[in-house]
Amino acid sequence: MGGRQAFLNGSFLVEDEAVVSIYDRGLLYGDGLFETLRTYRGKPFRLDAHLERLASSAAFLKIPLPFKKEEIKEAVYELLRRNRLSDAYVRITLTRGPYGPPARCGKSSGRLGLETEQATLFIVSRQFTPYPARLYRFGAKAIISRIRRSPRSVLLQHKTLNYLNNILARTQAQESGADEAIFVNTAGFLTEATVSNLFVVKEGQVFTPPVSAGLLPGITRQAVLEICHRNCIPARENNLRLIALAQAHEAFLTNSLMEIMPLCFIAGKPIGDGRVGDLTRRLRGLYREMVRKELGL
Ligand SMILES: Cc1ncc(COP(=O)(O)O)c(C=O)c1O
């Protein structure tokens, strides 16, 4: 009895009982999407934006969303209530679902057809575990991944269940004693890190690679661009070569869980003076303020 609950296709179940089919295409082919977000005192930050991204990627991949956005939103809040969570990590996963019975879907089984009976949607939540404090105090260290990204791969613009390149790159980072890996695309431009977007600061100006370079349009990335705009901090999307990172004064990474994390070393060399930059620190404060204001905390 008891135990943490998950939402699965309309029901709240104890996590151990929330199981999906071995024929689920999310599992078989990575045929699905996910969202990860953070809640502050029980309130999810920019849940609407996360659901918009999920819905538009689902439409792109022709995965029918089995619930309305409002219903998913309500399910997130209800799950947080049931699990008595305040500062939480929430993950919403959507897959194309399992193949239906062979009589109806037999023709497509094992043939990558799109026919499934019903998409699978589940939500899990747990207490938020902060990233190690040292990463904010001294900044993260990144390597440049050997894996090159194709700017033509439209899938990079969606948060799909295919993270193997990211996992390989993260493994390379760990093996070199770094915290993160940055991807460069086949045209030689910077894209993003394995689970975060990349920003570079040069002479008080903020730059981030454009989505067309082959990266996820992060919700936090968007929030940072808004913050810069509102505070008259020059910021723009720009194709950046590796040298721009090596010669930057500051750099930082963003995602919904880490918020803004300073990046102080690239390929073993310091970025700027190798310490957390002033603008990065300021943006971190402004981001927290934005979260507090938007959530009414
Ligand atoms: C590859 C990748 N890029 C960027 C991000 C940042 O996205 P967001 O700010 O929406 O969390 C993530 C988040 O997990 C990611 O996996």
Render pLDDT for 201-240 as a digit per residue (tens, 0 to 9): 999 999 999 999 999 999 999 999 999 999 999 999 999 9
State the residue for tokens 């953070």: 38
Which of 256, 263, 287 gets mutated to test ligand 1 (max ligand atoms within 8 A of its CB)? Answer: 256
The amino acid present at 97, given as its one-letter code, is G
114 pLDDT band, cuts 50/70/90, is: low
Bridge partners, 202 (sequence order): 205
The pLDDT value given to residue 100: 65
Counting from 1 in the atom list of ligand 1, the atom nearest the Cα of 220 is 9
- CB-ligand 1 contact for 214 (6 Å cutoff): no
Which of 38, 196, 291 gets mutated to test ligand 1 (max ligand atoms within 8 A of its CB)? Answer: 196
Query: From ligand 1's centre to the CA of 43, what distance in Å?
Result: 19
Please give the class, per CATH, of domain 5-127.
alpha beta
**pLDDT of residue 57 exceeding 60:** yes
Nearest CA to ligand 1 atom 5: 196
**pLDDT of residue 112 exceeding 90:** no
Residue boundaries of the structural domains of the chain: 5-127, 133-295
The pLDDT value given to residue 152: 93
252 pLDDT band, cuts 50/70/90, is: very high
**pLDDT of residue 185 exceeding 70:** yes
**pLDDT of residue 95 exceeding 60:** yes
The pLDDT value given to residue 116: 74
- CB-ligand 1 contact for 145 (6 Å cutoff): no
102 pLDDT band, cuts 50/70/90, is: low
110 pLDDT band, cuts 50/70/90, is: low
User: What's the CA gap between 146 and 241, in Å, rounded?
Assistant: 15
User: What's the CA gap between 113 and 199, in Å, rounded?
Assistant: 39
The pLDDT value given to residue 117: 76
Q: 212-215: long-range contacts at Cβ-Cβ below 8 A with a sequence spacing of 24 or more?
A: 212/151, 213/149, 213/151, 213/185, 213/187, 213/189, 213/239, 214/149, 214/150, 214/151, 214/152, 214/153, 214/156, 214/157, 214/183, 214/185, 215/156, 215/157, 215/183, 215/191
**pLDDT of residue 109 exceeding 60:** no
Q: Is the dihedral of CA 232, 238, 241, 242 positive or negative?
A: positive
More confident residue, 107 or 47: 47
Measured between its terminal Cα atoms, the distance across the chain in Å is 34
**pLDDT of residue 101 exceeding 70:** no
State the residue for tokens 């808004």: 226
Overall fold of domain 133-295: D-amino Acid Aminotransferase; Chain A, domain 2 (3.20.10)
Query: From ligand 1's centre to the CA of 57, what distance in Å?
Result: 14
Q: Do the domains 5-127 and 133-295 sit in the same CATH topology, yes or no?
A: no
Counting from 1 in the atom list of ligand 1, the atom nearest the Cα of 256 is 11
- CB-ligand 1 contact for 196 (6 Å cutoff): yes
The pLDDT value given to residue 2: 74
